[in-house]
């Protein structure tokens, strides 16, 4: 296994709900097939949410769909429960020698919503891949390689730069927290550690994507009509084995991500940066040209063990242009200008929390997170285009079933939440735990005709989990 330096934070203890380490302790879920060790992980999950607005996303919050009073669902409570986030994982590891290992990790749940999903009878959500990657670790030389689908290198870590040691909120909501930086995607990662595993440097190339906002434009399957009569192509709906209802952006190069992590004797600290290259094509009559913008940003995270093993402070943030999809809120990365060129939007996201472990059976947490996005717009021939244009109308946002428009381009989402987990059974049979979480979220929009009213949502989450291998 990868070696760690003592930092007062330590690797994820496997009994905590935030643990990302697959496997078991002792003889639970561990099998030996010749020189290869197989470790099973996962849990059976039954989560539910009661909210004062109807947002049909279950325990995975889609904050941008938070309604305004013009929609009847703003005025109704909603309850939804599901076992779809039950998780299965498997780690296979072979020891090449006393200091080097090769491993493969696979993790999945039922979080996908297939076209045939039936919320009235079978509730048959689709099995999906969360992670699938191979890794090579040489502890003596200090080199670590990873290839496949895993948490992005931008995701805050807990110790070193090591897979399955991501610093994720203990929340019940599957979307974790507004302001959380993360993605799970294809990547090739190279990491080198120094100073007896205290200083780590990592670089990855990762699968790119650009979330475009085309408010004001006519957009058909990624083909956008420009006010000058030209056409910009920003993507295409999936074909073959991809999702034919989702638009896949046109990308020219992978995202380039670098990170430095430091583990002194107290705390864990990270700095990181990213380059992203939004790309499209503009067609004029029967010819055209390609456009590539340069986007990117920087950020970091820290964990402070205020009382080691009892109380810790976590904080993380990311800011830049065209990188908003790396936040839980999924705000737009870019819009278009009058010529059809990609215009990266500035964004900033941040989160901080206190996590307490008063005894081995209870975890208590409180977090605040926010994600904000800038605007870019233009007006042409009496029409308005772009993101956050002040000539868009928000006049109909506050009257139920208003005949007026409510454009409501999101400017920012903020969320405050508190919660707790109680492990009330724990033994050779595994762990059974229950949790509850209270969350309040607010949605702000860019000012337009009729102002910039905000909306909000309150939620109560409940969960029970059985972790047979932990």
Residue pLDDT, tens place only, 152-183: 999 999 999 999 889 999 999 999 999 999 99
**pLDDT band (50, 70, 90) for residue 427:** confident
> Do 387 and 410 contact (CB within 8 A), yes or no?
no
Average pLDDT over residues 135-146: 94
pLDDT of residue 429: 86
Min mean pLDDT across 111-125, 130-144, 339-353 is at: 111-125
Residue 100 domain-assigned (yes or no):
no
Cα separation, 143 vs 100, in Å, equals: 10
Determine, yes or no, domain membership for 218: yes
**pLDDT tens, position by position, 37-71:** 888 888 999 999 999 999 999 999 999 999 999 99
Q: Based on the structure, what is the number of domains in the chain?
A: 1
Least confident interval from 108-122, 241-255, 371-385, 405-419 = 108-122
Residue 120, pLDDT score: 80
Q: Kindly state the average pLDDT of the residues 359-383.
A: 95
Percent of the chain with pLDDT over 70: 96
d(CA 377, CA 388): 7
- Of 373, 339, 362, the closest CA to residue 423 belongs to 362
Q: For residue 460, give every residue at least 6 positions away whose Cβ sits within 8 Å of its Cβ, in sequence order, or none.
A: 49, 50, 51, 436, 437, 438, 439
The band of 115, judged by pLDDT with boundaries at 50, 70 and 90, is confident
Q: Which of 331, 322, 318 is nearest to 292 (CA)?
A: 322
What pLDDT shows up at residue 12? Answer: 65
What value does the mean pLDDT take over residues 287-305? Answer: 97
Summarize pLDDT for 348-365 with one digit per residue, the tens. 999 999 999 999 899 999
Residue 141 falls inside a structural domain: yes
CA gap 94, 100 in Å, rounded: 9
Q: Is residue 67 part of a domain?
A: no
pLDDT band at residue 198 using 50, 70 and 90 as cut-offs? very high
Predicted confidence band of residue 340 (pLDDT cuts 50, 70, 90): very high
Question: pTM for the full model?
Answer: 0.94
pLDDT in tens, 19-42: 434 333 455 778 888 899 888 888
| Model confidence at 406: pLDDT above 90 | yes
User: Using CA atoms in the order 57, 245, 378, 64, what is the torsion angle rounded to 10 degrees?
Assistant: 0
Residue 15: what pLDDT? 40
Contact 326, 373 (CB under 8 A): no
User: Containing domain of residue 342, as a range?
Assistant: 137-450
Query: Regarding beta strands 199-206 and 184-194, do their DSSP bridges make them parallel or antiparallel, or are they unpaired?
Result: antiparallel
Residue 86 in any domain: the answer is no
Which pLDDT score, from 0 to 100, does residue 392 have? 97
Residue 64 lies in a domain: no
Phi/psi for 329 (5° steps) reads: -75, -20
For the ranges 209-213, 290-294, 422-426, the lowest mean pLDDT is seen at 422-426
- What digits encode the pLDDT tens for the residues 68-92? 999 999 999 999 999 999 999 999 9
Q: Lowest mean pLDDT: which of 120-124, 135-139, 376-380?
A: 120-124
Nearest Cα to Cα of residue 91 among 34, 55, 134, 147: 134
Give residue-wise pLDDT tens across range 447-464. 999 999 999 999 999 999
Quickly count: other Cβ atoms within 10 Å of residue 83's Cβ.
15
Using pLDDT thresholds of 50, 70 and 90, give the confidence band for residue 2: low
User: For residues 180 and 173, is the Cβ–Cβ distance under 8 A?
Assistant: no
Residue 191, domain member (yes or no)? yes
Residue 14 has pLDDT above 70, yes or no: no
| Residue 437 included in any domain | yes
């Amino acid at each position: 296994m990868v070696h760690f330096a003592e930092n007062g934070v330590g690797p994820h203890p496997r009994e905590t709900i935030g643990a990302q380490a697959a496997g078991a302790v002792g003889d639970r879920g561990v099998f030996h097939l010749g020189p290869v060790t197989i470790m099973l992980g996962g849990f059976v999950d039954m989560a539910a949410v009661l909210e004062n607005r109807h947002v049909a996303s279950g325990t995975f919050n889609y904050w941008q769909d938070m309604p305004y009073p013009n929609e009847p669902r703003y005025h109704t409570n909603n309850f939804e429960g599901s076992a779809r986030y039950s998780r299965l994982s498997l780690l296979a590891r072979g020891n090449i020698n006393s200091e080097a290992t090769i491993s493969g990790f696979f993790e999945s749940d039922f979080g996908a919503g297939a076209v045939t999903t039936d919320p009235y009878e079978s509730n048959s959500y689709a099995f999906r891949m969360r992670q699938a990657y191979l890794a090579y670790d040489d502890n003596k030389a200090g080199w670590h390689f990873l290839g496949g689908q895993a948490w992005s290198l931008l995701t805050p870590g807990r110790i070193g730069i090591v897979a399955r040691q991501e610093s994720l909120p203990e929340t019940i909501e599957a979307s974790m927290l507004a302001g959380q930086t993360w993605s799970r995607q294809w990547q090739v990662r190279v990491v080198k550690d120094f100073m007896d595993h205290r200083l780590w440097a990592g670089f990855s190339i990762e699968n790119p994507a650009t979330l475009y906002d085309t408010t004001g434009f006519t957009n058909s399957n990624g083909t956008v009509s420009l006010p000058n009569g030209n056409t910009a192509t920003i993507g295409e709906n999936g074909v073959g084995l991809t999702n034919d209802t989702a638009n896949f952006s046109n990308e020219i190069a992978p995202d380039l991500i670098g990170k430095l992590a430091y583990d002194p004797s107290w705390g864990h600290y990270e700095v990181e940066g990213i380059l992203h290259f939004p790309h499209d094509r503009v067609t004029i009559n029967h010819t055209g040209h390609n456009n590539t913008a340069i986007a990117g940003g920087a950020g970091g995270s820290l964990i402070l063990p205020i009382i080691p093993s009892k109380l810790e402070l976590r904080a993380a943030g990311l800011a830049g242009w065209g990188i908003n999809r790396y936040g839980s809120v999924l705000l737009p990365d870019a819009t278009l200008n009058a010529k059809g060129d990609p215009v990266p939007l500035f964004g900033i996201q941040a989160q901080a929390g206190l996590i307490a472990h008063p005894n081995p059976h209870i975890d208590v947490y409180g977090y605040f997170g926010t994600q904000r996005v800038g605007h870019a717009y233009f007006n042409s021939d009496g029409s308005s285009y772009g993101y956050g244009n002040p000539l868009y109308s928000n006049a109909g946002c506050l009257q139920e079933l208003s005949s007026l428009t409510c454009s409501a381009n999101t400017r920012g989402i903020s969320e405050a939440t508190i919660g707790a987990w109680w492990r009330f059974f724990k033994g050779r049979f595994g762990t059974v735990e229950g949790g509850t979480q209270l969350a309040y979220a607010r949605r702000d929009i860019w000012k337009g005709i009729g102002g910039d009213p905000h909306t909000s949502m309150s939620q109560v989450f409940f969960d029970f989990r059985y972790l047979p291998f932990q």
